[in-house]
Structure 1
Amino acid sequence: MYLSRRFLVGDRAYSEAQLLRVGSVFIILAEPGAGKTELLGKFGSLLGGLPVRASVFRSRQVTASRMPLIIDAMDEVARIDRLALDDIVVKASDAQGQTVVFAGRSSEWDSSVTEHVKDSFGVDPVVVRLEPFATDEQRQLFEAKFPGEVFEDFVNEAGRFELVPLFGNPQFLQLFGEAYVESGHSFTSKNAIFADAVRRLAHEANNKVSQKGRPPLNRIIELAGEVFAKLMLSGVSGVSATEVLGVGEFPYIAGLVSDAAREARFLMDTRLLKPSVEAGQHEPVHRIVAEYCAARYLVSRIEDSSDLLSLPRVLAVIAPNNVVRTELRGMLGWMAALSSETMQTTLVELDPYAVFANGDPSQLTAKAKKALLAKLAQIAEDDPYFRRSDVWRQFNVGGFFTSDIQADVAEILKPSGGSQSLRQLVLELIQSSGAASQFGTELRALTFDHHGHASVRKIAHSALLDVVGYDPVPDLAALQAEASALSLELAANVVRKVGATKVTAPVVADLLRGLSGLYSKRLHARNELSGSLYFIRALVETLDLPVVVTALDELTQNLVCTCNPRYDALCECRRGVSKVAGFLLDRYFALGVPADATTLWVWLKPLRFKDYTASDSSAAVVALANAHQLRRQINGSPSRRTPTPRLQKKR
């Protein structure tokens, strides 16, 4: 089953067909399992070309043509000096394709590669993020994959481990669904979830397939770990069922497990591997699965005292010169989650962000968690952009914020506690993992830190609103008294969270008056608030009728021009109030209230709308345009003294 995707380019959203008309060179970045491969297949059908793995494209001879190029898995060829990525970009530009699409993991993409793409093609590439699947789309995927299962029950069980925020990723949804069914509808840990999912993928569910000679399930899983570990460490794509000369990307599987060549045939028949483009070639069903299986295999051998394989020997391949190969960071994270404290601290020292963002960091010991936070703080001070393009990624650390590291986390959250980028990351994870109640004092301090970064204050306040039992209404006075663009936005979020009835209508009206000041008085000038002011409309759309009426009365009472009283048509000082009042009028008519001409004229008379245009998005404009009798009543209203203002307006 394939569901159409939505894409984000900056703050704008596009459909698949719309996106391809935006530019000619695209960079699609997403976290593992987000559905890049299926998406690129759809792009191939739209553009008339086939996706190709970056490692395969690199070894091809390319001639100039106008055929589209769709290059997947750019992150898998990344190396320490990044020369492989540079070669692929240059080769793609030499091909002169009409449309070129690069895709890879956001965590392994550096902004300098984007600049290299720009220099090579001579145009600005369109950097694209995949919008996570919404709840309805998640339900469709789940019910299609697991007929007979109840999506709501699955969500409730996954919610115990804070996994629901990851369901926007289709591969995670499928993996967790597999584990949910395999475990009898009950989870115990994230590690157990992946273990159950792997068992289900390795199981032969078709009774019509002969089981003669098939090794036990645990043996097949062990073989998968060995094969995946060798594939990942060597940097190749998959395995071949037959031995073929010159196919370096797909080595012969019997050569990888020479002591179990017969058993390896059964591994290729499981869902742990999927067919590749060429017949007889297979690759891991997904990189996430390969990382988990490979890590479990390597850790079991390293921690076996009778095995000659040691951690230093493995790290010599994973992290030559103590720099982790970018394509192996996911596997490294799982190795830390599955290993003993000694290995955990070693891997944390090597690449703390890989350990934090991959695998299951809740499995770390208290000592390893403390070391992780300390090392992250050190890296963030040296490089505030240590997250690279991964800044938009959502991942889960449910169970990480335990009481034994609460003091360490609180230190990071202090306004003077070091790097803003690390503080923002920790805040995001506190909120997504439901741990905000442990840090109420720190979150409130960040919210009211007037000198704090806007993104930090927003996330801290959002997390604070999630704390069960916390009453944000008393905070409104302080936020309105600060009267900054950001504090007023936070105040609006409070009203939307608790409801206007708990705040009282006069307070809401006063807040709306303050929000009206965020609009520039001069037409087409920049607004004071850096970003969208849509939250003002969103706030108004939550108000009920009594609050709307009170707010309109308050905003329009004694509203006169103070900037150009002699020439009313040139007035600029009422632009913001008129916009907010326009939103309120839209809400008034959307509620379906019978309109009173006299009251409407009192509200409309002092408002001024410039650069007006007819708009079907305005409920007030539509209602007044169609209510001929009401307009005649307004024109004949006793309170009318000046010409009726134009009803069309642009907001």
Structure 2
Amino acid sequence: MEKIAVIDRRVVIRNGEPGQEGQLQKVSDLRREPFVVLLGEPGIGKSTVFQTEAKLVGGTLLKVRQLVNGYMPPPRGTLFIDALDEYRSDGNSADKADNLALAITNADALQWRLSCRSEDWRNAADIAAIQATTGGMNIIIAQLLPLDEEEASLLLQAWGDVDPLGFLDQASRMGVSALTENPLSLMLLRKAVQRNGAWPSSRFAVMSSATWQLAHEHNSDREYEQRSPPSAISHAAGNICLVQLASGAPGIWRSNAPPPEQDDRRAFLTAYDLEVPPDLLGDMLDTSLFRGVGNAFEPMHRVVAEYLAGRALADAVAGSSDRVALPLSRAIAIITGADGRPPTELRGLYAWFAAHLSNSGDIRGAGRLIEADAATVLAYGDAAAFQTPERRAILANIDRDDPYFRSYETGSTAYGGLAGEDLADDFRRILLAPPTSQKFLTVIDVLTIGPPVRSLRSLLREIAMDPARPNWHRWRAVDAWLNGVGDQYASRLELLDELEHEPASTGREILRTHLAGELPVGMLGAQRVRSILAAFEASSDDNTVGYLFGLEARLKNEPLTALFAEPTTSWRAPTVQRRRSIEVDRMLDRVLAAYIETCEPASSEIWQWARNVGGDEFIYLGEEARKAIAKWVEANNLHQIEIFDLVLEQYQPGDRPWLLGNDFFRFAGRRVSKALVHHLLMTGAAAPATTVRRWLWRVAAFLVNGADPDPSAYWFVYEYLSERRGTKKLLHELCVTQISKAQWRYLKKRIRQRRKDEKRRQKDIYILTNELEALREGKSQNLIWAADLYFQRNHSDKAPLIDQLRADLGGPIADAIRDGWIRVATQPTEHLDTTALGTAAGENKGYGFEHVVIAGIDVLLYEQRVSTLAAAPLLSAIIALKSGFVVEAERRRVAIEDWATRRLEVNPTAGAQELTAFWSAALEAGGTSLDGLSQLAQPARAGHALAIALDAILGAKPGMQEDALKHVLIVGLSIIDNGRLRVLADAALQIDELGLRQRLLWSFVRFALDPVESRDRFLQESDSANVDDVAFLDWDGGMGKATEELDHKLVRLEVIIRIAGARSAPENRFGSGWVTNLHHLADATYGAVTTLSSSTGIEAAGC
């Protein structure tokens, strides 16, 4: 028997008190409710929850059958009544609820809980029967939710798994996460792995084993009941899933009553439509293959439905002794559109259909589907289920019709199924060929996620350690190389050591941070971390952030306090050389704050850390560290005393008190405690010298005589000094604060301003009260004013400050404003279109309407109402990218940008059209940059919509402003197919009116794509260019590294030396001061020469 894990499971309220429906709660939250019905699919853990809860609250746990058959529990307690569905299974259920109600009444329980399988719960009829037992109080109907990752991990841990997260990660890699959401299916998956001594060889095998097991009955109390055979249940489930997916029906309706009318016009599938015998339908819905409540059911997970439906369709094509085979062309027509490809919602079904055809021996049929849409077969099914010729066809055809086949939303875990030594030569050709980013990236993903392909490890390492490769090639190749190594940590350290000998560059520093982020900090050591951060900070900015997140998370979770043992100025570069100082500053700030909060450091340690990071006067101490210090000081009066003693050590008697006091205030805040001044005065009392004693009295008086003193501390000092001789002057200073004329004018001005603000607030309330309806409907201009007010006050990553608006304006007004923001953000508008927005961006202007949209998105994301945002117009996503900077809280701003990216990728073609229109209008209006491009180009976000939009904008406006063109080309080289870029470059270079720098950029791109063919043209184009024009090119970035063949590499390095070297000298290399164009050119020349001298296989003599 598996061990029970004590987990406070999640539930959703299906029926309860007003306002409760749809709420997510914990099981423990239900303890305050007197009467609860707990529903759930088979195997979801209802009985386990009842066992745990009964033990925790001291209740009595009974089966329904026991209670109805006369067992009498102790009276006036909490009664847990399990398995109403089992009690009903032995005959007519019409009167069973009435019998149960009578038994509950006789048991005389103060409160009760009842469990039932969702499939067996008859909502209205059952509620009516047992309502009489509650004395008129409401019955809460709650449904037990599927396991999340944390709950599944706790279960595995209770069952004895030493690496539960590793198990779940492997399930995710194999694409069977759906089977980890139900305790029963999770247990079956675990047993299958234990039984075989290893994971099944493929995702297909896991799905096959799990769905077969789930078609059986696993409740020991029902294992001998009359039931349809598992084969019949599995067959029926496949057919029903096929009909549901192909028709788009929202679910299955099993009642004789008509299904409810819904806004969704797709009808439920009814028992009549399905023509499945009632007994078989009931047995099928009563397995963990389906979940639901009342009469509405759906498959346990879409992936499971797609697998079963694909098998059903393949069986139909194969035919049987009692069924004529369905022609393959007819089967394909059911699940594809006019272009022969599946619509988005049927891609999973299409992929599993191909896999089942192959598994059944229909190689030609599977090949036909692969040829039509290889990308779908790879991303949504299991490539490991196919034979080598089919797998090779997948790889060959994956980008045949769509070079941007990797959409943003498609996960890459399924790609691992393509890995295997049988395709090693094919992978090698792609890795060595001029990289088309989408296919190259897919092969890297395959080699990272799937089984290790050991014959390619040397090539992957070569790519990872090649400084001429684009940055993203290198760190992704590292991940692929590490797949399958025996000791990941030692291998990462080995690469880090080797990188020490490579010349500093942006690519090297990005790779080092990537490697370090996955290493235990004990292996890294403080000195290595400092070296990595210092070099990263001094590297060129590539308009991308986030590289330090992994290392930051590692340092937070595994404290390395030695990092702050030395002043950061001793190892960081001079300020003028810190090109990425903001990222390093933020990381150090957040890590220091984490150490103060979690490491329980001594006062002296915090004092030293803060001085080492913030300087002697704490000027450079970050916001998060200051908050952590303030929280630490407030937690214990002793902390304030200890810090003051450390400050006191820095001064001598006779030093001005305000110097000492200001040092203390800068560190610990202005408000001092009574305990501190008591300590200070007692220290003075113990001092042998009168001068020291009187000096400490003056310090104490200064500390409590601020603008906002603690009254108890102030009066303690006053009374103490009153009792001492020679303190008359000091008491006078303590009682009188001289206010200058300027201060007095300021105070009077503040008083007048406060009165004016309050008068204006009352006027605002009056005006807004009269337009509540217009606010709710999103029609009031005051929504703009409210959004500006909201963002002015809302700088925290915590909850949006709707509560502050409520405090200022009242609940009804704040709620109406909130509703109006949401309406504006989620519905189309006539007030603004994409072209007008782009024009405003090009003119560096904005509309107040934009802030309203962003406020609505911010509130919805905080409330986790993602489904409400799903229908938001594309214009809202563009606004979020253009003006998201109004949200100063970083995490919330990133969440808004992430949502905007996902929204554009829902329909990449439509998203790209919106982006193109926006950017075109901005450029037409004289814009010098493309708003949103930096956010969209981040590695985790760059998707199909961006690739299409960049292709379109480069084709339509090749002569755009030089800075914008440079940025677009740098991004485009990483996501646009090289062949397409050649076409765009050739077309641009045919334009006679092209500006000098634009022509240089396009010529440089053409040269980067094919150095051998374009060398002479590029040298000729650059001959007449001056230093500034040549330095403008992206010499050490991605533009110069599009191809990696040896002859191309040689020519590229030769041209860099000829052009950059001719316009600079070695002494122009950057040392200190401002970075100039000569610095750029000298550094590029030095890098090229160094690469030539350190690379193997390159004949440098040709230069």
TM-superposed CA distance for 1:214, in Å, is 3.5
User: Which deviates further from its counterpart, 304-313 or 537-546?
Assistant: 537-546
* Structure 2 counterpart of 1:431, one-letter code: T
* Pair 47,632 (structure 1): closer, same or farther in 2 beyond 3 Å: same
Richer in helix (by share): 2
Q: How does 1:134-153 map to 2 (within 5 A)?
A: 136-140=150-154, 149-152=159-162
Q: Which residue of 2 aligns with 1:630?
A: 646
Q: Which residue of 2 aligns with 1:220?
A: 233
Q: Which residue of 1 aligns with 2:389?
A: 367
Which secondary structure does the structure 2 equivalent of 1:163 belong to?
A: helix
Whether the 8 Å CA contact 2:336–2:343 is kept in 1: the answer is yes
* Pair 211,429 (structure 1): closer, same or farther in 2 beyond 3 Å: same
Deviations 1:29-78 (A, max 9, x none): xxxxxxxxx88989x99796799xxxxxxxxxxxxxxxxxxxxxxxxxxx
* Structure 2 counterpart of 1:293, one-letter code: L
Whether the 8 Å CA contact 1:334–1:359 is kept in 2: the answer is yes
Q: Which residue of 2 aligns with 1:288?
A: 303
Q: Which residue of 2 aligns with 1:253?
A: 271
Q: How does 1:373-412 map to 2 (within 5 A)?
A: 373-381=395-403, 384=404, 386-391=405-410, 393=411, 395-412=413-430
Q: Which residue of 2 aligns with 1:460?
A: 477
* Structure 2 counterpart of 1:629, one-letter code: D
Whether the 8 Å CA contact 1:179–1:194 is kept in 2: the answer is no
Question: Could you tell me which of 335, 343, 348 is aligned with 2:370?
Answer: 348
Deviations 1:224-250 (A, max 9, x none): 222322333333234444567798723
Whether the 8 Å CA contact 2:251–2:269 is kept in 1: the answer is yes
The count of aligned residue pairs is 505
Q: Distance in 2 between matches of 1:139 and 1:402?
A: 30
Q: Distance in 2 between matches of 1:282 and 1:236?
A: 11
Q: How does 1:194-273 map to 2 (within 5 A)?
A: 194-206=207-219, 214-241=227-254, 249-257=267-275, 263-273=280-290
* Structure 2 counterpart of 1:632, one-letter code: L
Question: Could you tell me which of 423, 439, 449 is aligned with 1:422?
Answer: 439
Whether the 8 Å CA contact 1:231–1:237 is kept in 2: the answer is yes
Q: Distance in 2 between matches of 1:50 and 1:578?
A: 40
Q: Distance in 2 between matches of 1:452 and 1:577?
A: 25
TM-superposed CA distance for 1:293, in Å, is 1.6
TM-superposed CA distance for 1:366, in Å, is 0.7
Q: How does 1:71-86 map to 2 (within 5 A)?
A: none
Deviations 1:199-233 (A, max 9, x none): 33322344665967633221221222223223333
Q: Distance in 2 between matches of 1:633 and 1:39?
A: 59
TM-superposed CA distance for 1:369, in Å, is 0.9
Q: Distance in 2 between matches of 1:586 and 1:358?
A: 43
Whether the 8 Å CA contact 1:238–1:282 is kept in 2: the answer is yes
* Structure 2 counterpart of 1:333, one-letter code: A
Q: Distance in 2 between matches of 1:510 and 1:226?
A: 61
Q: Distance in 2 between matches of 1:421 and 1:39?
A: 41
User: Which deviates further from its counterpart, 203-212 or 407-416?
Assistant: 203-212
TM-superposed CA distance for 1:328, in Å, is 1.8
Q: Distance in 2 between matches of 1:300 and 1:370?
A: 25
* Pair 183,503 (structure 1): closer, same or farther in 2 beyond 3 Å: closer
Q: Which residue of 1 aligns with 2:317?
A: 302
Q: Distance in 2 between matches of 1:593 and 1:463?
A: 43
Whether the 8 Å CA contact 1:220–1:267 is kept in 2: the answer is yes
Which secondary structure does the structure 1 equivalent of 2:298 belong to?
A: strand
* Pair 167,357 (structure 1): closer, same or farther in 2 beyond 3 Å: closer
Q: Distance in 2 between matches of 1:389 and 1:578?
A: 31
Q: Distance in 2 between matches of 1:188 and 1:585?
A: 45
TM-superposed CA distance for 1:404, in Å, is 0.5
Whether the 8 Å CA contact 1:333–1:359 is kept in 2: the answer is yes
Q: Which residue of 2 aligns with 1:178?
A: 188
Whether the 8 Å CA contact 1:447–1:461 is kept in 2: the answer is yes
Q: Distance in 2 between matches of 1:573 and 1:196?
A: 52
* Pair 496,573 (structure 1): closer, same or farther in 2 beyond 3 Å: closer
Q: Distance in 2 between matches of 1:632 and 1:572?
A: 38
Whether the 8 Å CA contact 1:509–1:555 is kept in 2: the answer is yes
Which secondary structure does the structure 1 equivalent of 2:400 belong to?
A: helix
Unaligned runs of 5+ in 1: 5-37, 52-131, 520-525, 564-570
Q: Structure 1 residue 517 and structure 2 residue 534: aligned? A: no
TM-superposed CA distance for 1:401, in Å, is 1.0
Q: Structure 1 residue 447 and structure 2 residue 425: aligned? A: no
* Pair 357,199 (structure 1): closer, same or farther in 2 beyond 3 Å: same
Q: Structure 1 residue 357 and structure 2 residue 375: aligned? A: no
Q: Distance in 2 between matches of 1:49 and 1:439?
A: 51
Q: Distance in 1 between matches of 2:587 and 2:18?
A: 46
Whether the 8 Å CA contact 2:252–2:270 is kept in 1: the answer is yes
Which secondary structure does the structure 2 equivalent of 1:339 belong to?
A: helix
Question: Could you tell me which of 602, 606, 609 is aligned with 2:619?
Answer: 609
Whether the 8 Å CA contact 1:605–1:644 is kept in 2: the answer is no
Whether the 8 Å CA contact 1:163–1:398 is kept in 2: the answer is no
Which secondary structure does the structure 2 equivalent of 1:283 belong to?
A: strand
Deviations 1:485-505 (A, max 9, x none): 453232134345455676676
* Structure 1 counterpart of 2:234, one-letter code: I
Deviations 1:466-490 (A, max 9, x none): 5335354354564685534453232
Whether the 8 Å CA contact 1:273–1:283 is kept in 2: the answer is yes
Q: Which residue of 1 aligns with 2:513?
A: 492
Deviations 1:133-177 (A, max 9, x none): 98633324668xxxx744448777778xx4254799465443443
* Pair 580,629 (structure 1): closer, same or farther in 2 beyond 3 Å: farther
Q: Distance in 2 between matches of 1:165 and 1:3?
A: 25
* Structure 2 counterpart of 1:356, one-letter code: L
Q: Distance in 2 between matches of 1:299 and 1:195?
A: 14
* Pair 630,296 (structure 1): closer, same or farther in 2 beyond 3 Å: same
Q: Distance in 2 between matches of 1:502 and 1:575?
A: 26
Q: Which residue of 1 aligns with 2:1000?
A: none
* Structure 1 counterpart of 2:461, one-letter code: R
Whether the 8 Å CA contact 1:240–1:281 is kept in 2: the answer is yes
C-alpha root-mean-square deviation of aligned residues, in Å? Answer: 5.1
TM-superposed CA distance for 1:330, in Å, is 1.0
Which secondary structure does the structure 2 equivalent of 1:634 belong to?
A: coil
* Pair 197,245 (structure 1): closer, same or farther in 2 beyond 3 Å: same
Q: Distance in 1 between matches of 2:546 and 2:320?
A: 57
* Structure 2 counterpart of 1:136, one-letter code: E
Q: Distance in 1 between matches of 2:350 and 2:515?
A: 41
Q: Which residue of 2 aligns with 1:483?
A: 504
TM-superposed CA distance for 1:363, in Å, is 0.9
Tell me: higher relative CO, structure 1 or 2? Use CA pairs within 8 A at least 6 residues apart: 1
Whether the 8 Å CA contact 2:375–2:398 is kept in 1: the answer is yes
* Structure 1 counterpart of 2:354, one-letter code: A
Q: Distance in 2 between matches of 1:269 and 1:241?
A: 12
Q: Which residue of 2 aligns with 1:325?
A: 343
Whether the 8 Å CA contact 2:357–2:365 is kept in 1: the answer is yes
Taking every aligned residue pair, what percent have the same amino acid on both sides?
19
